[in-house]
Amino acid sequence: MRGPSTNPELIAVRIKRLKQHLLVTYKELAELFGVKTLTVQRWGLGMFAPRLEFQRTLERLERQHGLR
């Protein structure tokens, strides 16, 4: 696994790509991460990068769905 990204814009691209690939809402994506919908929306807007544990979850989901 790569190191954590501190660049919110790069995380936003990854979040949006995962959301589109899975054909889910931000609410459904938030449930996968175990966070509030607003949190995932903020990640998707590039407002801030998620904590390391959630970046690891993102990496896992990307791998599971062939995005990595």
Task: Domain of residue 16: give its range.
Answer: 8-61
Residue 68, in any domain of the structure: no
Domains held by the chain: number: 1
> pLDDT tens digits, residue range 25-40?
999 999 999 999 999 9
CA–CA separation, 24 and 51 (whole Å): 22
In a domain? residue 15: yes
* pTM attached to this predicted model: 0.89
How many Å apart are CA 44 and CA 38, to the nearest integer? 10
- CATH number, domain of 16, equals 1.10.260
56 touches 5 (CB < 8 A): no
How does residue 3 score in pLDDT terms, banded at 50, 70 and 90? Answer: low
As a whole number of angstroms, the distance between CA 41 and CA 63 comes to 21
* Alpha-helix residue ranges (DSSP H) falling in 1-68: 8-22, 26-33, 37-44, 52-64
